[in-house]
Amino acid sequence: MRRLDLKKAQAARLNTIRDINRQIVLNYVREREPISRADIARETNLQRSTISAIVEDLKTEGLVEEVGEGESTGGRRPTLLRLRTKEAIAIGVAITPSVTTVATSDLAGRVIDQEEFPTDPDADKTLNQVITLVRELSRRNKGSIEAVGVSLPGLVDPATGNAVYIPYFQWRDIPVSQVITKAVGLPVVIDNDANAVALAELWFGRPEVSDARDFILVLVAEGVGTGIIFDGQVYRGQRGAAGEFGHMVIGTHAPVPCSCGNHDCWEAFSSEGAAMARYSKLIGSPINPPFGFRELVDRALAGESGAKAALVETARYLGVGISNLVVGFSPEAVVVGGEIARAWPFIESALTETIEHSVRRGLPSATILPSTLGEKPTLRGALSLVLASKFAAAFAA
């Protein structure tokens, strides 16, 4: 049972029921498209007239459109509805320690155009390049872009729109939302990369994940971050600082320093850099760019034993941290995202064995799954920051 929050209860308005019905209809169209008004009425028990009125509103707002006709069940053939995907409505900006990607997507989250550049350690330079690309993409789309979502690899306060601390570049208290909004005139939503990817999994992930009310997303990249979905929403904690499990201590003498500088954090044992350091040690020679983590996974997939061994050992440490999260949170699922998800065929057993070994004594375990968000999960995350607000309920259901 949820305790009633009196501060929020005061804000409940008379049209709350109407808002709830609107979100129900919109989400039926999103998940079951193409779908007719009659099908929505059958599945929801809402009045046909209520649904028709809501659909008219959603059409006017440009969220839903009519597409052709469905099978007749005796009378007139019903008109089918789907999400309106004729134009780009969101811009996503995924800032990672190496590359920044700026892309547009439609309402369904499909990426339309994308551009990228190497992230500059100087915050002003990176933000200026972001602004140039956002301007260019919104000009190309002639006013259809509604908002910009930005994911950042560090501590972010979504309420103020500030990047509080980005360890890779030592950025502190950068007013990211304000700077971009001022320059491009669009609303900007920002979040930590792992939270953004967790949001993308919740809205656009595979059904085992998106249907779960409680799950944890573990993002393995230059660092290791976690996004916690609790009761169907991102759990943020004070100032958005929840989920910094990358810095929980799981050992000593990690193969690389953590982004915080210590050598005992989970991240220092389980990041892409940790796997690369293990590989370098195994083959007995230093590895240099352009050879990167992607190439390491490619080599492992091609059957190279050293590459496989480096990834399997990294997966064991990843499993140690996940075990701690499973014991503490008892989530329905844990999703592993990042390039490492491609290596699933040979890291899965190392991961699950470690987790099963630690989570015992009758405690429930969780399903461990690779992310299905594709090559750039943080970009999907950045886009979700804009798109999810279209479908999410503004009320506590």
**What would the two tokens of residue 42 be?**
């059958």
| Residues 197, 337 contacting (CB under 8 angstroms) | yes
Binding to Zn ion (CB under 5 A): which residues in 224-253?
A: 247
Least separation in angstroms between CB 97 and Zn ion: 14
Smaller CB distance to Zn ion: residue 258 or 386?
Answer: 258
Q: Which stretch binds Zn ion (CB under 5 A): 102-110, 175-183, 216-224, 264-272?
A: 264-272
| Residues 243, 192 contacting (CB under 8 angstroms) | yes
| Residues 316, 196 contacting (CB under 8 angstroms) | no
Smaller CB distance to Zn ion: residue 107 or 163?
Answer: 163
Cα–Cα distance, 337 to 368 (Å, whole number): 11
Q: Of the candidates 265, 300, 315, 333, which one interacts with Zn ion according to CB under 5 A?
A: 265
Q: Which stretch binds Zn ion (CB under 5 A): 53-61, 139-147, 263-271, 389-397?
A: 263-271
Binding to Zn ion (CB under 5 A): which residues in 316-335?
A: none
Cα–Cα distance, 258 to 245 (Å, whole number): 12
Cα–Cα distance, 179 to 183 (Å, whole number): 6
Q: Of the candidates 248, 260, 327, 392, which one interacts with Zn ion according to CB under 5 A?
A: 260
Smaller CB distance to Zn ion: residue 269 or 279?
Answer: 269
Smaller CB distance to Zn ion: residue 265 or 326?
Answer: 265
Q: Tell me how many residues contact Zn ion (CB under 5 A).
A: 5
Smaller CB distance to Zn ion: residue 258 or 366?
Answer: 258
Least separation in angstroms between CB 265 and Zn ion: 3
Least separation in angstroms between CB 269 and Zn ion: 10
Smaller CB distance to Zn ion: residue 206 or 247?
Answer: 247
Smaller CB distance to Zn ion: residue 224 or 386?
Answer: 224
**What would the two tokens of residue 301 be?**
């997939």
Q: Which stretch binds Zn ion (CB under 5 A): 141-149, 164-172, 198-206, 259-267?
A: 259-267
Q: Of the candidates 91, 134, 145, 258, which one interacts with Zn ion according to CB under 5 A?
A: 258
Least separation in angstroms between CB 163 and Zn ion: 18
* 274 near Zn ion (CB under 5 A): no
Least separation in angstroms between CB 296 and Zn ion: 22
Q: Which residues bind Zn ion (CB under 5 A)?
A: 247, 258, 260, 262, 265
